[in-house]
């Protein structure tokens, strides 16, 4: 054995030692260069926005305020405490077409240092309700129109809405500073009372499921015979919340809270009933807790919903950059990504609705049902290869099939619907592969024991395999969605617009209306392509927002994965 | 039992089957879309310029390329003989297959010198092929006593014959024209031309896609140049050296790196990497290494940023391949007295080579198909130049940039993006098929 270490000379041994050390150090270094890139990337994006606190010049007057039904808010007063004017007066010009003649009204806006002073402007056929309004700083007021025709609003002079007294806000103030109102703001509740009650109810249910308290359980014993009544009352309250609070985000979350509470209470009551039929004390519910709530993830879903609804029901987060400002073509620093943010949400929603059922069905077929025939092999090969097709090719597929008219084109135009469908098609192979992986990891013994007690194939799949694989499938789907969220190339091809000054209309492709839409990555792309440096700061701000949103989504996936692992171990 | 009864009895099965056939539909849809418009493009061009034309240039056969073709044919003949009757190699002396170490170094030096001295690109490639065939023959030579060489796999033979025919064809012809000749064999890409009407085909338009292809190749291979050493090194370190605690920190970070959207990488390249590359380029220009001053947008910029993007892919896939190697191999090598670095490079890498290769091929496919980062980093000027400090345009960037300017259905610009898209699709599909084949080969091995 020539290589035997004992036969080596001392010099050679030293050389080998040195090689060993140099080699391992080099390998470690190669790994850390990757990490270094990440830190440089984050640093380079963060520096121009947050750390240097770059400021931009905002030019007064000739403002372009985009839509007719408009919410305005000034961050700083235009008059001092004695009523003397600071800088230019704020004058809004309202113009609309009144049966062939053009009507113009100008309205003077005085912003005082007092907060919560609000005065809305109402426009109807007879004209404008007032010539001058007085509002407090940082207070929203509305211009409401009951006319059939759109009203154009131009600002003739004065500082732009939501700017500071020098007219030059810092970029960081757009991204970081968020008004968080807790429960009560401006002398009233931040959310509809019913949604608040719903949130409290969910808190109660989560607490009950996490720590079943004997006192509460024995109090609930009275409800045992009225399960259906309790359930339908809670569902009714969900519907009522939606109707009364007006289908807003809070209303939807409130309805979700009611529904989740109904499910949670129902499970508790069922468990208590089972205990009772076994002749045990109903207050021993914690014995049944795991089998009743953990198997279907009721507790986990309740907790996740609780986290989300806490952000929007008792706390009201208000990030102007994200949810209030549209793009402002003249003033980079006053721009926001409202239309892009809602566009992203809609595109992802449609993509999810389209792709998830189909891809999970395909995965179930391929893993559970399909015999290894040629067709199955073909489908499997196609899925694997589709996952590697460049995203821009999916964009061209969407352009020809969904956007354009003629041939086999559906002619939806460059709309949210076409974009969502394209993204759904793109997500499909990714979700199929992830779901297959999850289904494959379900032990065969589970299937065999279910067959052993006489289940049909569909019963085995539905009741045993799917519940076990669900967390894996959900994790894969969320990761696919987060990939979709950051993808811009297909939407450039589908025809996302560079400048969208209204909220996207999801069904405009079918029903007609404003088809234009944009998403956050597209906004970053167009802002980066602008020559002016100010836009690059805005692109950095949008990039950080996007990375944070993606991190939030991925952490949901991680929560799911952890939950799954814990259950496997227990 | 009639078909209808069977369907109603097992309707879940059929519903699920139909969901999975949507994959076939999507694939057919993609191919149909690309093919339909690409055919429209080629026939539109062919209407005025013909399908394919070239002039025969027999004197080209006598040049270096002709020699290369001849050598390739020789290689193909050797391959064929080896397949039909491997015993033909018995007559070869063992020294020719496995020369002593000093002769090996000599051959390496000669090969390197030849690579530098040979002027023709084709001949350089043929040189590599000849070396490859020599090692292949040596491999068969070793396996002869067992005689278990796989006779059915003819990929190499067909590749050699195809290469020889292609080289022969290109050495004997020049001046390509017509729809196909212009698209695949020329280098001038001016699809808008200086025409009065940009919608219809006109004389000044030129569609030599090689201009886009060259930049794509520059960016993709440049990215590999960065990502493969770093990624594979990182994978080896993680699987062989790192403590579990370090792995639990580094792996999620790599996932995070993989999760960052490509447009953010593009922004990063635009504001940070570009200016750095320009600084280097200005030095190179002052030294006279390049003939034009550098630009912020350039293929090097794109290669670096795409390299960072594909690094996590290479690292995590290579790590999986290394982890799949049975522990006995590692332990056996260590027990024989090899150090860890020797075990790593002589045992582990050899054993997981096909997995690492698959990760590289799939990463290459990803790099070729990358769009947003490349569009923002490389530029939008389609030029055919080897100077990588000048703005250029990749295939994906052309599609993204051209389609951004609201293209009406049916005009020539609309058709070109589909022709380019089809080419891109075919390239990435081939890479993916190859990568998945290599991947399944190593999955079978362990």
Give per-residue pLDDT as tens, A160-205.
Answer: 665 433 333 333 233 333 345 666 666 667 677 888 889 899 999 8
User: So what's the pLDDT on residue A66?
Assistant: 31
Decide if pLDDT at A559 tops 80: no
Residue A473 contacts residue A357 (beta carbons within 8 Å): no
Decide if pLDDT at B181 tops 60: yes
Residue A257 vs residue A143, higher pLDDT: A257
Which residue of B7, B371, B419 to mutate against A (max A Cβ within 10 Å)? B371
Task: Count H helices and E strands in chain B, helices first.
Answer: 20, 4
Residue B141 vs residue A459, higher pLDDT: A459
Q: What are the sequence ranges of the domains in chain B?
A: 55-175, 211-446
User: So what's the pLDDT on residue B94?
Assistant: 77
CA distance A55 to chain B (A): 18
Q: How confident is the model at residue A7 (pLDDT cuts 50, 70, 90)?
A: low
pLDDT, tens digit (0-9, with 9 covering 90-100), for A450-496: 999 988 888 888 888 888 888 788 888 888 998 899 898 999 988 88
Indicate if the alpha-carbon torsion angle A333, A339, A345, A351 is positive or negative. Answer: negative
Decide if pLDDT at B207 tops 60: yes
Query: Token digits for B128?
Result: 């590599």
CA distance A308 to chain B (A): 23
Average pLDDT (A536-565) is 76
Query: Token digits for A161?
Result: 């809405």
Query: Token digits for B357?
Result: 């290769």
Contact A31 B336 (CB under 8 A): no
Q: What is the DSSP letter of A136?
A: E
pLDDT, tens digit (0-9, with 9 covering 90-100), for A184-193: 666 667 677 8
CA distance linking residue B186 with residue B175, whole number of Å: 9
Q: How confident is the model at residue A348 (pLDDT cuts 50, 70, 90)?
A: very high
Decide if pLDDT at A5 tops 60: no
Average pLDDT (B18-31) is 87
Which residues are registered as beta bridge partners of A111? Answer: A135
Which three-class secondary structure string do you get for B149-177? CCCCCCHHHHHHHHHHHHHHHHHHEEEEE
- The CA–CA distances, whole Å, from A396 to A417, A499, B31, B113, B406 equal 15, 22, 11, 47, 13
Residue A271 contacts residue A219 (beta carbons within 8 Å): no
Average pLDDT (A94-102) is 76
pLDDT, tens digit (0-9, with 9 covering 90-100), for B221-240: 999 999 999 999 889 888 88
- What CATH number was assigned to the domain covering residues B211-446? 1.10.3720.10
Decide if pLDDT at A329 tops 70: no
Q: Backbone phi, then psi, for A327, in 5-degree steps? A: -70, 140
Decide if pLDDT at B92 tops 80: no
User: So what's the pLDDT on residue A117?
Assistant: 77
Query: Which among A493, A528, A550 has the least Cβ separation from residue B376?
Result: A528
- The CA–CA distances, whole Å, from B102 to B111, B139, B346 equal 14, 20, 21
Decide if pLDDT at B193 tops 70: no
Residue B2 vs residue A275, higher pLDDT: A275
Q: How confident is the model at residue B152 (pLDDT cuts 50, 70, 90)?
A: low
User: So what's the pLDDT on residue A431?
Assistant: 93
Decide if pLDDT at A511 tops 70: yes
Q: Which of A205-209, A430-434, B22-26 has the highest mean pLDDT?
A: A430-434
Average pLDDT (B75-82) is 84
pLDDT, tens digit (0-9, with 9 covering 90-100), for A229-253: 888 999 999 999 888 877 777 788 8
CA B446 to chain CA centroid, Å, is 26
Average pLDDT (A126-137) is 81
User: So what's the pLDDT on residue A54?
Assistant: 44
Decide if pLDDT at A255 tops 70: yes
Q: Is B258 on the interface with A (CB under 8 A)?
A: no
How many CA atoms lie less than 13 Å away from A538 in the CB half-sphere? 31
Decide if pLDDT at A403 tops 60: yes
Q: Is B269 on the interface with A (CB under 8 A)?
A: no
CA distance B280 to chain A (A): 19
Average pLDDT (A62-73) is 43
Decide if pLDDT at A154 tops 80: no
Q: Is B35 on the interface with A (CB under 8 A)?
A: no
Q: Backbone phi, then psi, for A515, in 5-degree steps? A: -85, -20
Please give the share of chain A, as a percent, with pLDDT higher than 90: 14
pLDDT, tens digit (0-9, with 9 covering 90-100), for B393-407: 999 999 888 886 566
Q: Backbone phi, then psi, for A249, in 5-degree steps? A: -60, -45
User: So what's the pLDDT on residue B273?
Assistant: 87
Decide if pLDDT at A263 tops 60: yes
- Grouping H, G, I as helix, E, B as strand and the rest as coil, residue A335 is coil
Contact B23 A383 (CB under 8 A): yes
CA distance linking residue B11 with residue B259, whole number of Å: 39
Which residues are registered as beta bridge partners of A153? Answer: A65, A94
Decide if pLDDT at A58 tops 80: no
Q: How confident is the model at residue A56 (pLDDT cuts 50, 70, 90)?
A: very low
Which residues are registered as beta bridge partners of A98? Answer: A101
Q: How confident is the model at residue A153 (pLDDT cuts 50, 70, 90)?
A: low
- Grouping H, G, I as helix, E, B as strand and the rest as coil, residue A296 is coil
Decide if pLDDT at A528 tops 90: no
Average pLDDT (B280-299) is 86
Stretch 334-363 of chain B: residues touching chain A, C-beta under 8 Å: 336-341, 344-345, 362
User: So what's the pLDDT on residue B404?
Assistant: 66
- Grouping H, G, I as helix, E, B as strand and the rest as coil, residue B188 is coil
CA distance linking residue B279 with residue B296, whole number of Å: 9
Mean pLDDT of chain B: 84
pLDDT, tens digit (0-9, with 9 covering 90-100), for A82-92: 777 777 777 77
Tell me which residue of A118, A121, A140 sits closest to A130, measured CA to CA: A121
Answer yes or no: is the ipTM higher than 0.95: no
Which residue of A5, A23, A482, A516 to mutate against B (max B Cβ within 10 Å)? A23
Residue A123 vs residue B213, higher pLDDT: B213
| Chain A with chain B: Cβ pairs closer than 8 A | 270
Q: Is B225 on the interface with A (CB under 8 A)?
A: no
Query: Token digits for A191?
Result: 């959310």
Q: Is B403 on the interface with A (CB under 8 A)?
A: yes
Which residue of B7, B10, B16 to mutate against A (max A Cβ within 10 Å)? B16
Q: Which of A104-118, A280-294, B414-428 has the highest mean pLDDT?
A: B414-428
Residue A57 vs residue A530, higher pLDDT: A530
Tell me which residue of A375, A440, A412 sits closest to A517, measured CA to CA: A412
Query: Which among B20, B263, B338 has the least Cβ separation from residue A379?
Result: B20
CA distance B55 to chain A (A): 35
Contact A493 B399 (CB under 8 A): yes
User: So what's the pLDDT on residue A176?
Assistant: 31
Q: Quick one: B362 exposed, middle or buried, by C-beta within 10 A (0-12, 13-18, 19+)?
A: buried
Stretch 273-312 of chain B: residues touching chain A, C-beta under 8 Å: 308, 311-312
Please give the share of chain A, as a percent, with pLDDT higher than 70: 76
Average pLDDT (A420-447) is 91
User: So what's the pLDDT on residue A207?
Assistant: 86
User: So what's the pLDDT on residue A47?
Assistant: 63
Q: Backbone phi, then psi, for A56, in 5-degree steps? A: -125, 160
Decide if pLDDT at A292 tops 70: no
pLDDT, tens digit (0-9, with 9 covering 90-100), for B317-347: 898 888 888 889 889 999 988 888 888 888 8
User: So what's the pLDDT on residue B6?
Assistant: 72
Q: Among the CATH numbers 1.10.3720.10, 3.90.190.20, 3.30.450.20, 1.10.10.60, which is that of A326-569?
A: 1.10.3720.10
Q: What is the DSSP letter of A463?
A: I
Which residue of B216, B251, B256, B263 to mutate against A (max A Cβ within 10 Å)? B263
């Amino acid at each position: 054995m020539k290589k035997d270490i004992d036969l080596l000379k001392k010099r050679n041994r030293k050389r080998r030692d040195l090689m060993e050390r140099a080699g391992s150090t080099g390998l470690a270094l190669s790994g850390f260069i990757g990490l270094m890139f990440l830190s440089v990337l984050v640093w380079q994006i963060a520096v121009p926005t947050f750390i240097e606190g770059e400021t931009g010049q905002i030019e007064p007057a000739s403002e372009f305020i985009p839509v007719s039904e408009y919410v305005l808010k000034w961050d700083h007063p235009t008059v001092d405490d004695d009523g003397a004017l600071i800088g230019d007066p704020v004058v809004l010009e309202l113009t609309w077409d009144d049966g062939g003649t053009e009507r113009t009204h100008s309205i003077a806006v005085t912003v005082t240092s007092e907060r919560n002073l609000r005065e809305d402007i109402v426009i109807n056929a007879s004209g404008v309700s007032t010539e001058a309004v007085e509002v407090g700083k940082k207070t929203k007021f509305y211009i409401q129109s009951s006319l059939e025709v759109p009203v154009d609003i131009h600002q003739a002079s004065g500082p732009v809405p939501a700017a500071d007294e020098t007219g030059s806000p810092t970029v960081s103030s757009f991204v970081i500073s968020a008004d968080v109102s807790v429960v009560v703001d401006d002398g009233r509740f931040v959310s509809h009372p019913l949604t608040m009650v719903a949130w409290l109810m969910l808190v109660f249910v989560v607490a009950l499921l996490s720590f079943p308290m004997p006192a509460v359980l024995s109090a609930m014993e009275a409800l045992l015979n009225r399960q259906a009544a309790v359930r339908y009352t809670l569902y009714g309250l969900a519907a009522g919340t939606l109707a009364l609070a007006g289908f807003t985000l809070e209303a939807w979350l409130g309805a979700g809270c009611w529904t989740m509470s109904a499910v949670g209470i129902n499970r508790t009551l069922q468990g208590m009933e089972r205990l009772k039929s076994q002749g045990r004390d109903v207050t021993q519910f914690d014995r049944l807790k795991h089998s009743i709530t953990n198997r279907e993830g009721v507790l986990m879903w309740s907790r996740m919903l609780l986290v989300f609804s806490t952000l929007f029901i008792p706390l009201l987060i208000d990030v102007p950059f994200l949810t209030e400002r549209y793009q402002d073509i003249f003033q980079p620093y006053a721009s926001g990504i409202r239309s892009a943010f809602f566009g992203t949400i809609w595109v992802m929603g449609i993509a999810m609705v389209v792709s998830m059922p189909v891809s999970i069905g395909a995965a179930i077929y391929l893993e559970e049902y399909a015999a290894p025939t040629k067709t199955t092999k073909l489908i499997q090969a196609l899925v694997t290869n589709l996952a590697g097709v460049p995203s821009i090719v999916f964009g061209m597929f969407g352009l020809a099939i969904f956007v354009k008219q003629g041939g086999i084109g559906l002619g939806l135009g460059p709309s949210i619907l076409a974009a969502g469908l394209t993204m759904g098609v793109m997500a499909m192979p990714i979700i199929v592969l992830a779901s297959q992986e999850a289904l494959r990891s379900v032990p065969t013994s589970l299937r065999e024991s279910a067959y052993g007690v006489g289940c049909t194939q569909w019963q085995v799949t539905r009741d045993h395999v799917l519940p076990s694989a669900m967390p894996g499938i959900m994790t894969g789907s969320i990761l696919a969605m987060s990939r979709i969220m950051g993808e811009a190339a297909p939407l450039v091809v589908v025809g996302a617009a560079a400048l969208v000054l209204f909220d996207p209309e999801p069904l405009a492709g079918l029903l007609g209306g404003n088809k234009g839409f944009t998403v956050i990555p597209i906004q970053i792309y167009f802002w980066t392509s602008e020559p002016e440096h100010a836009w690059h700061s805005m692109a950095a701000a949008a990039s950080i927002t996007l990375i944070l949103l993606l991190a939030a989504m991925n952490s949901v996936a991680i929560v799911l994965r952890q939950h799954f692992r814990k259950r496997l171990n227990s | 039992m009639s078909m209808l009864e069977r369907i109603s009895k097992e309707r879940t099965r059929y519903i699920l089957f139909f969901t999975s056939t949507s994959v076939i539909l999507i694939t057919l849809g993609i191919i149909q879309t690309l093919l339909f418009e690409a055919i429209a493009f080629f026939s539109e061009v062919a209407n005025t310029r013909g399908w394919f034309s070239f002039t025969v240039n027999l004197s080209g056969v006598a040049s270096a390329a002709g020699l290369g073709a001849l050598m390739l044919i020789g290689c193909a003949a050797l391959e064929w003989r080896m397949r039909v009757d491997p015993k033909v190699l018995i007559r070869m002396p063992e020294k020719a297959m496995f020369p002593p170490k000093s002769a090996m170094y000599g051959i390496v030096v000669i090969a390197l010198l030849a690579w530098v001295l040979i002027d023709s690109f084709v001949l350089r490639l043929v040189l590599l092929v000849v070396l490859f065939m020599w090692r292949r023959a040596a491999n068969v030579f070793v396996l002869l006593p067992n005689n278990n060489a796989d006779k059915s796999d003819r990929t190499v033979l067909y590749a050699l014959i195809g290469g020889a025919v292609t080289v022969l064809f290109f050495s004997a012809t020049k001046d390509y024209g017509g729809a196909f000749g212009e698209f695949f064999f020329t280098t001038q890409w001016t699809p808008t031309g200086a025409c009065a009407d940009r919608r219809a085909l006109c004389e000044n338009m030129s569609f030599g896609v090689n201009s886009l292809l060259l930049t794509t190749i520059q960016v993709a291979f440049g990215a590999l140049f960065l990502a493969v050493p770093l990624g594979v090194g990182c994978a080896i370190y993680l699987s062989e050296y790192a403590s579990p605690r370090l792995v639990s920190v580094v792996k999620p970070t790599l996932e995070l790196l993989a999760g960052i959207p490509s447009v953010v990488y593009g922004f990063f390249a635009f504001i940070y990497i570009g200016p750095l590359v320009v600084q280097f380029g200005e030095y190179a220009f002052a030294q006279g290494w390049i003939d034009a001053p550098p630009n912020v947008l350039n293929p090097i910029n794109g290669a670096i940023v795409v390299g960072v993007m594909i690094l996590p892919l290479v690292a995590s896939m290579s790590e999986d391949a290394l982890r799949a190697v049975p522990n006995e191999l590692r332990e056996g090598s260590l027990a024989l007295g090899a150090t860890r670095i020797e075990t790593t490079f002589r045992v582990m890498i050899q054993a997981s080579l096909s997995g690492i290769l698959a990760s590289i091929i799939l990463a290459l496919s990803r790099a070729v198909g990358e769009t947003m980062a490349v569009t923002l980093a490389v530029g939008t000027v389609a030029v055919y130049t080897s100077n990588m400090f000048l703005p250029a345009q990749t295939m994906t960037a052309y599609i993204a940039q051209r389609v951004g300017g609201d293209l009406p259905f049916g005009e020539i610009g609309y058709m070109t993006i589909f022709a380019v898209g089809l080419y891109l699709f075919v390239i990435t599909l081939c890479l993916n098929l190859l990568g998945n084949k290599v991947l399944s080969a190593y999955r079978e091995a362990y």
